[in-house]
């Protein structure tokens, strides 16, 4: 049924502040699928990362039909493998904090989202996943009912169960009458901290079902907002400030503070005020890499601390390797201090404070400042000066070490870090999925800008390439660089990711730290069996790639620039060529040959 303009622009209700009269409160939607898009657009969803199947036909049709009517629809990014779609939405969220839509094919497409679902959960990325499910009707009673054999095979016992352990919320969209409640709810839950993925299924019958009046109610969608986060109980922050002010060796252990870039400055200010060391547990950029207060030896710092402040960190230390001394005061600032999703989380905390660290840190800084006597301040400054002096010595040692490595053949990972640091524009965003070469590269990468380093925040490999597609879409003026191991590169479905980058006009530079194998899967064999048969025979099944694929050629076959780099003297120029290709709109892959493991 046709809908008139007046029906679509009913006046704002008399109460409520969010809705202005010019905002329409209903939108045209002929079908359930069209209603889903109208609702998601109203919630701020801008992209749909799609891998289609028989069940998604109404969704594909809705995108075209709505656009033909002049309606706004999310921009389509075709993904030839589903894990790329999941990572791209994850990357987009890390930059914007806005969940996007991933659409996949029934149970099998859901399964192909793979380890990147784990990453979205542990990395606290708000992503809305919508999958088809087998049609409900069989005898032709309804449009969209079963019409091919696979739909009986796809009728599995518990499709939502595939995702249940990894999502904040999951639901089957069963009726068109409730879509206007459920879609905004999905986006709100995904975006609210701790953010995370949500999962919905929908059969073709509902996706094709006509909507009463040919329109959908947008009132709830217009109002949906992420929940306002707490800044932390004032009394508890005062208590913490007292502990920190008195401490002789205060230590912050940080995980994902930098997800809110403004929190980086607050953390640095607090650390510098107190002369407090920081252990960075490796998420986004939490503190500038070369800051003098970053602890060089994390275990020693944990052992020596008398006050430890855990900030948004899942694993502050490994008890088997180190624990804080008895009597150490341990406090926690975390949006999710209980960590209920981690079954065995037993780290001792005397003062757990639920808070958004970007809000709590400035409060804590002010509370510490208020407490500091002149004598306190002199003690804090002297402590800070000692760390700065030690750091100067360490920087000199690092520079000397680099001089020995810059001409080394095969290329040293440290030199890759330094060569990148020399050439990457300051505004670049680096995605770290380097695994065992990460420490060496980061030591010389010198990143300092908040928001300029991102990571999956979790160990599901195959994240960085897809994530780079999403990050570049979210930050089109920035240079996006994925630093990956050779194993991680392959896990990232490079054909699908590079092709998505081309289709979505989201070029990025990939740098492969190619050690011809899975070093991270070799090291535990040596660690657990130092004198074992593998060590003696130098035999490590499944971890070495003696004839690695030609990744540069693979890149070229996907319309990307591809270059293999063996010569350390050529590395800088190769990076420049890669960056030039990206500036010209083409994805680029540099396959840097390190010593094989």
Ligand X SMILES: Cc1ncc(C[n+]2csc(CCOP(=O)(O)OP(=O)(O)O)c2C)c(N)n1
Contact positions vs Mg ion (CB under 5 A)? 485-487, 515
- How many residues of this chain interact with ligand X, rule: CB under 6 A? 19
> What does 461 bind: Mg ion, ligand X, none (CB cut-off 5 to 8 Å by kind)?
ligand X
Q: Phi, psi at residue 165, to the nearest 5°?
A: -75, -5
Q: How far is the C-alpha of 179 from the C-alpha of 574, rounded, in Å? A: 51
| Interacting residues of 375 by C-beta distance below 8 A, sequence separation 6+ | none
CB of 50 to ligand X, least distance (A): 22
| Interacting residues of 287 by C-beta distance below 8 A, sequence separation 6+ | 254, 257, 258, 264, 267, 268, 271, 278, 280, 293, 294
CB of 488 to ligand X, least distance (A): 3
CB of 544 to Mg ion, least distance (A): 10
- Ranked by CB distance to ligand X, the top (closest) residue is 485
**321-329 long-range CB contacts below 8 Å, 24 or more apart?**
329/243, 329/247
CB of 519 to Mg ion, least distance (A): 5
Q: Which stretch binds ligand X (CB under 6 A): 137-145, 360-368, 373-381, 513-521?
A: 513-521
Tell me: does residue 347 bind ligand X (CB under 6 A). Answer: no
Q: Based on CB atoms, which residue is closest to ligand X, 195 or 464?
A: 464
Candidate residues 515, 551, 582, 593; the one interacting with ligand X per rule CB under 6 A = 515
3-state secondary structure of 96: helix
CB of 486 to ligand X, least distance (A): 4
Q: Based on CB atoms, which residue is closest to ligand X, 215 or 515?
A: 515
Candidate residues 488, 506, 510, 586; the one interacting with ligand X per rule CB under 6 A = 488
Tell me: does residue 485 bind ligand X (CB under 6 A). Answer: yes
Candidate residues 51, 428, 455, 519; the one interacting with ligand X per rule CB under 6 A = 519
Q: Based on CB atoms, which residue is closest to ligand X, 226 or 596?
A: 596
CB of 379 to Mg ion, least distance (A): 46
Q: How far is the C-alpha of 74 from the C-alpha of 55, rounded, in Å? A: 19
Q: How far is the C-alpha of 330 from the C-alpha of 319, rounded, in Å? A: 15
Cα–Cα distances in angstroms (integers) from residue 330 to residues 125, 243, 308, 366, in the given order: 28, 9, 5, 20
CB of 332 to ligand X, least distance (A): 27
Tell me the two tokens of residue 434.
């380097």
Contact 93, 485 (CB under 8 A): no
| Interacting residues of 142 by C-beta distance below 8 A, sequence separation 6+ | 136, 205, 208, 209
Q: Which stretch binds ligand X (CB under 6 A): 92-100, 140-148, 210-218, 429-437?
A: 429-437
CB of 18 to ligand X, least distance (A): 42
> What does 491 bind: Mg ion, ligand X, none (CB cut-off 5 to 8 Å by kind)?
ligand X
Candidate residues 213, 459, 532, 585; the one interacting with ligand X per rule CB under 6 A = 459
Contact 460, 493 (CB under 8 A): no
Please write down the HEC assignment for all residues of 213-275: HHEEECHHHHHCCCCCCCCCCHHHHHHHHHHHHHCCCEEEEECCHHHCCHHHHHHHHHHHHHC
Cα–Cα distances in angstroms (integers) from residue 484 to residues 333, 461, 589, in the given order: 31, 10, 11
Tell me the two tokens of residue 512.
């492969």
Nearest CA-CA partner of 464 in 430, 420, 513: 430
Q: Based on CB atoms, which residue is closest to ligand X, 156 or 520?
A: 520
Tell me: does residue 455 bind ligand X (CB under 6 A). Answer: no
Candidate residues 436, 493, 510, 586; the one interacting with ligand X per rule CB under 6 A = 436
CB of 412 to ligand X, least distance (A): 14
Q: Based on CB atoms, which residue is closest to ligand X, 102 or 516?
A: 516
Q: Based on CB atoms, which residue is closest to Mg ion, 59 or 434?
A: 434
Tell me: does residue 437 bind ligand X (CB under 6 A). Answer: yes
Angle between helices 464-474 and 82-96 (to 10 degrees): 40
Neighbour tally for 310: CB within 10 Å: 25
Tell me: does residue 416 bind ligand X (CB under 6 A). Answer: no
CB of 437 to Mg ion, least distance (A): 8
Nearest CA-CA partner of 108 in 165, 151, 147, 49: 151
CB of 509 to Mg ion, least distance (A): 19
Q: Based on CB atoms, which residue is closest to ligand X, 115 or 417?
A: 115
Region for 514 from its dihedrals, namely left if φ exceeds 0, alpha if ψ lies in -120 to 50, beta otherwise: beta
Q: Which stretch binds ligand X (CB under 6 A): 49-57, 157-165, 515-523, 546-554?
A: 515-523
Q: How far is the C-alpha of 578 from the C-alpha of 576, rounded, in Å? A: 5
> What does 466 bind: ligand X, Mg ion, none (CB cut-off 5 to 8 Å by kind)?
none
- Tell me, what DSSP letter sits at residue 44? T
Candidate residues 81, 365, 491, 561; the one interacting with ligand X per rule CB under 6 A = 491
Tell me: does residue 520 bind ligand X (CB under 6 A). Answer: yes
Residues shown for the chain? 597
Candidate residues 126, 288, 460, 568; the one interacting with ligand X per rule CB under 6 A = 460
> What does 437 bind: ligand X, Mg ion, none (CB cut-off 5 to 8 Å by kind)?
ligand X
Contact 144, 172 (CB under 8 A): no
Q: Based on CB atoms, which residue is closest to Mg ion, 180 or 544?
A: 544
> What does 459 bind: Mg ion, ligand X, none (CB cut-off 5 to 8 Å by kind)?
ligand X
Q: How far is the C-alpha of 12 from the C-alpha of 21, rounded, in Å? A: 5
| Interacting residues of 532 by C-beta distance below 8 A, sequence separation 6+ | 525, 526
Nearest CA-CA partner of 458 in 192, 191, 85, 197: 197
Q: Which stretch binds ligand X (CB under 6 A): 16-24, 185-193, 305-313, 432-440?
A: 432-440
Q: Where are the beta strands (DSSP E) in 343-485?
A: 351-354, 429-433, 453-454, 480-485
Tell me: does residue 525 bind ligand X (CB under 6 A). Answer: no
> What does 100 bind: ligand X, Mg ion, none (CB cut-off 5 to 8 Å by kind)?
none
CB of 545 to ligand X, least distance (A): 9
Contact 99, 191 (CB under 8 A): yes
| Interacting residues of 227 by C-beta distance below 8 A, sequence separation 6+ | 188, 192, 193
- Ranked by CB distance to Mg ion, the top (closest) residue is 485
CB of 460 to ligand X, least distance (A): 5
Q: Based on CB atoms, which residue is closest to ligand X, 428 or 515?
A: 515
Per-residue binder mask for ligand X (CB under 6 A), 113-152, x = binder: --x-------------------------------------
Which residues are at the interface with ligand X (CB under 6 A)? 115, 435-437, 459-462, 485-488, 491, 515, 517-521
């Amino acid at each position: 049924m046709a809908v008139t303009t007046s029906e679509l622009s009913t006046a704002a209700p008399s109460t409520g502040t969010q809705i202005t009269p010019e905002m329409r409160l209903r939108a045209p939607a002929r079908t359930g699928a069209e209603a889903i898009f109208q609702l998601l657009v109203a919630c701020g969803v801008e992209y749909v990362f799609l891998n289609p199947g028989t069940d998604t036909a109404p969704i594909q049709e809705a995108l075209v039909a709505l656009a033909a009517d002049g309606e706004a629809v999310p921009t389509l990014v075709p993904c030839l493998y589903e894990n790329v779609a999941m990572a791209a939405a994850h990357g987009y969220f890390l930059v914007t904090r806005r969940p996007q839509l991933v659409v996949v094919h029934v149970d099998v497409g859901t399964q192909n989202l793979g380890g990147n679902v784990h990453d979205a959960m542990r990395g606290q990325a708000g992503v809305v996943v919508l999958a088809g499910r087998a049609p409900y009707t069989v005898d032709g009673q309804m449009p969209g009912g079963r019409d091919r054999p696979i739909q009986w095979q796809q009728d599995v016992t518990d499709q939502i169960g595939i995702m249940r352990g990894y999502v904040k919320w999951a639901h089957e969209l069963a009726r068109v009458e409730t879509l206007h409640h459920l879609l905004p709810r999905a986006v709100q839950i995904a975006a609210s901290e701790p953010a995370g993925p949500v999962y919905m299924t929908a059969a073709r019958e509902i996706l094709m079902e006509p909507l009463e009046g040919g329109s959908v109610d947008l009132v709830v969608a217009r109002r949906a907002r992420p929940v306002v986060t707490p800044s932390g109980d004032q009394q508890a922050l005062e208590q913490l400030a007292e502990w920190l002010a008195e401490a002789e060796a205060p230590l912050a252990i940080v995980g994902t503070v930098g997800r809110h870039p403004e929190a980086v400055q607050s953390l640095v200010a607090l650390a510098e005020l107190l002369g407090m060391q920081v252990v960075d547990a490796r998420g986004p950029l939490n503190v500038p890499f070369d800051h003098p207060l970053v602890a060089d030896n994390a275990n020693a710092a944990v052992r020596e601390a008398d006050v430890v402040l855990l900030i948004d960190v899942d694993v502050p230390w490994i008890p088997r390797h180190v624990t804080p001394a008895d009597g150490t005061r341990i406090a926690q600032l975390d949006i999710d201090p209980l960590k209920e999703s981690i079954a065995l989380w037993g780290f001792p905390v005397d003062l757990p404070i639920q808070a958004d660290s970007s809000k709590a840190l400035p409060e804590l800084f002010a509370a510490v400042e208020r407490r500091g006597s002149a004598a306190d301040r002199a003690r804090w400054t002297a402590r800070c000066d000692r760390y700065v002096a030690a750091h100067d010595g360490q920087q000199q040692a690092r520079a000397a070490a680099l001089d020995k490595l810059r001409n080394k053949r095969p290329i040293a990972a440290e030199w890759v870090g330094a060569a990148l640091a020399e050439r990457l524009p300051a505004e670049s965003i680096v995605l770290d999925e380097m695994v065992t070469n990460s420490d060496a590269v980061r030591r010389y990468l010198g990143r300092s800008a908040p928001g300029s380093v991102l990571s999956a925040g979790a160990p599901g490999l195959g994240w960085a390439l897809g994530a780079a597609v999403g990050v570049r879409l979210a930050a089109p003026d920035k240079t996006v660089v994925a630093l990956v191991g050779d194993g991680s590169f392959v896990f990232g479905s490079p054909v699908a990711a590079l092709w998505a980058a081309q289709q979505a006009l989201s070029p990025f530079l990939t740098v492969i730290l190619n050690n011809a194998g899975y070093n991270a899967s070799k090291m535990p064999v040596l660690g657990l069996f130092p004198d074992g048969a593998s060590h003696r025979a130098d035999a490590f099944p499944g971890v070495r790639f003696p004839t690695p694929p030609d990744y540069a050629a693979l890149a070229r076959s996907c319309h990307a620039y591809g270059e293999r780099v063996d010569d350390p003297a050529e590395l800088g120029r190769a990076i420049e060529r890669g960056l030039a290709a990206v500036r010209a709109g083409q994805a680029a892959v540099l396959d840097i040959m390190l010593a094989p493991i």
